């Protein structure tokens, strides 16, 4: 067996993971978002309390993991956070929903009392209509900003597939939108959103951010909404492509894939391998396709320029990052998690199945509440399951 280069081992071993998850507080019967985040926050105490915070809308709440190097420890942390908030919500007669958008219409959401959010409303006006969307943000520890920027360049082509794997917002305004991730479509309206540009350097990144702020396109650096960005306060590269994952299992598999992608890219950067020059227009188009069809249809691969079943591209991703997954000890967990996702369907597919049985939002609400607190399966504790990826059923063009 060919030895793994020392630099590649170092790149994978040194990367830490942190995760932010955003949730919606809902009425368990109607699925309506309820603006009671402040009450829920008051019910949470102890050492976990400072890791649960408000978000843009009063019906949203956010949790923040600690920094981890082991995926199983991350999963335990995420479960603990979800359980604490879910218990507080249940005690108040609410449900905690891990999904990308509100099931019911919200118009301009009730904003959390924060000067920044109020300023955003004044500046961006009706763009806030329908917002209050929820994402899952994965932070990968890369202290060197120049290396982090080059990692961003290397992983850009895989962003649409990461969106497909985590699509979890097909139902909005009381109907099936026809998109697997309606959150991605709503979020794309922001002028600073979308796949990141190809950066020549960290200075190029900083210059673009400065220009956006100087021009009034963004109000502060926190409004850089690229799908990958340099954290403004941590030595991390932040991946912002995913809907909030339905389960801790799916969130942890996403974290493992992203770390493996970053590790593979970092090894290539240090070995002088150039990043693929993917056209920005095609990358945005691929991301739109991912938001529409998720894993249940075809995708557009920006690297090959081909349309193919999404699960076929997922197999290519797994092969691309296999060495990094082996190095970190995550191959069995991530492979088994992907296999299970393929078998049971993505969060979007499961929501649609629940909705179309009776066209009742209450059915979707109950599904979301249950999945949010779902325990991780046995293979998170060492059981190895094989990955068998086959093309999923194709959806007709809409």
Cα–Cα distance measured from residue 63 to residue 19, given in angstroms and rounded to the nearest whole number: 8
Task: Name the pTM for this structure.
Answer: 0.93
Residue bearing tokens 């990308």: 100
Q: Specify whether the CB–CB gap between 156 and 232 falls below 8 A.
A: no
**Interval 189-206: pLDDT, tens:** 999 999 999 999 999 999
Assigned token pair, 108: 């301009």
Those residues whose C-beta lies under 8 Å from the C-beta of residue 150, and which sit 6 or more positions away, are 265, 269, 275
Q: Which of 6, 16, 4 is nearest to 259 (CA)?
A: 16
Asked whether the beta carbons of 24 and 33 are under 8 A apart, the reply is yes
Residue 71 scores a pLDDT above 80: yes
Long-range contacts of 315-321 (CB under 8 A, 24+ apart): 315/389, 317/158, 317/161, 317/257, 317/261, 318/387, 318/389, 320/158, 320/261, 320/264, 321/257, 321/260, 321/261, 321/263, 321/264
Alpha-carbon distance of 356 to 339, in angstroms, equals 25
pLDDT tens by residue, 214-245: 999 999 999 999 999 998 888 999 999 999 99
User: Is the CA virtual torsion 383, 313, 392, 367 positive or negative?
Assistant: positive
Helix or strand or coil: residue 22?
strand
* Mean pLDDT, residues 298-304 taken together: 94
366-397: per-residue pLDDT in tens? 999 999 999 999 878 764 544 444 443 333 33
d(CA 282, CA 274): 19
Q: CA-CA distance, 78 to 350, in Å (whole number)?
A: 21
For residues 168 and 236, give the distance between their C-alpha atoms in angstroms, rounded to a whole number: 25
Q: Provide the token pair at 193.
A: 């959103």
DSSP-derived secondary structure for 39-75: HHHHH--STTGGGEEE-SBTTEEEEE---BS-HHHHH
Structure-token match 């600690």, residue found: 66
CA quadruple 232, 256, 17, 204: dihedral sign: negative
Long-range Cβ contacts of 267-270 (<8 Å, 24+ apart): 267/5, 267/7, 267/8, 267/11, 267/12, 267/324, 268/154, 269/147, 269/150, 269/151, 269/154, 270/7, 270/11, 270/147
pLDDT of residue 11: 58
pLDDT at 316 > cutoff 80: yes
Could you read off the pLDDT of 322-367 as tens digits, one per residue? 999 999 999 999 999 999 999 999 999 999 999 999 999 999 999 9
Q: How far is Cα 108 from Cα 243, in angstroms, rounded to an integer? A: 20
Query: Which domains does the chain carry?
Result: 6-381 (3.30.590.20)
- Alpha carbons 134 and 137: distance in angstroms, whole number: 10
């Amino acid at each position: 067996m060919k030895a793994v280069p020392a630099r590649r081992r170092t790149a994978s071993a040194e990367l830490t993971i942190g995760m932010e998850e955003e949730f919606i507080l809902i009425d368990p019967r109607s699925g309506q978002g309820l603006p009671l985040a402040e009450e829920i926050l008051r019910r949470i105490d102890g050492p976990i309390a400072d890791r649960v915070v408000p978000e843009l809308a009063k019906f949203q709440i956010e949790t923040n993991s600690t920094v981890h190097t082991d995926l199983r420890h991350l999963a335990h942390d995420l479960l603990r956070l979800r359980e604490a908030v879910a218990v507080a919500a249940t005690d108040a007669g609410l449900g905690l929903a891990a999904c990308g958008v509100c099931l019911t219409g919200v118009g301009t959401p009730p904003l959390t009392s924060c000067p920044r959010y109020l300023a955003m409303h004044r500046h961006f006006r009706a763009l806030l209509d329908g917002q209050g969307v929820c994402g899952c943000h994965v932070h990968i520890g890369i202290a060197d900003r120049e290396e982090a920027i080059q990692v961003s360049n290397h992983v850009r082509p895989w962003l649409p597939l990461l969106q497909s794997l985590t699509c979890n917002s097909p139902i909005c305004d009381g109907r099936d939108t026809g998109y697997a991730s309606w959150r991605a479509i709503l979020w794309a309206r922001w002028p600073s959103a979308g796949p990141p540009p190809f950066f020549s350097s960290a200075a190029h990144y900083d210059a673009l951010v400065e220009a956006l702020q100087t021009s009034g396109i963004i109000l502060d650096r926190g409004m850089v909404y690229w799908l990958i960005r340099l954290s403004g306060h941590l030595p991390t590269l932040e991946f912002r492509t995913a809907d909030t994952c339905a389960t801790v299992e799916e969130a942890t598999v996403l974290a493992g894939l992203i770390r493996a992608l970053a590790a593979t890219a970092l090894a290539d950067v240090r070995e002088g391998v150039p990043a693929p020059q993917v056209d920005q227009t095609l990358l945005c188009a691929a991301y739109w396709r991912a938001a529409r069809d998720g894993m249940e249809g075809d995708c557009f691969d920006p690297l090959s320029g081909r349309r193919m079943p999404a699960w076929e591209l997922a197999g290519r991703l797994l092969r691309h990052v296999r060495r990094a997954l082996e190095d970190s000890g995550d191959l069995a967990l991530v492979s088994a998690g992907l296999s299970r996702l393929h078998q049971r369907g993505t969060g979007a597919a499961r929501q649609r199945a629940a909705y179309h049985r009776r066209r009742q939002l209450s059915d979707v609400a109950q599904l979301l509440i249950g999945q949010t607190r779902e325990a991780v399966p046995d293979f998170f504790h060492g059981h190895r399951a094989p990955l068998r990826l086959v093309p999923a059923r194709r959806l007709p063009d809409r």
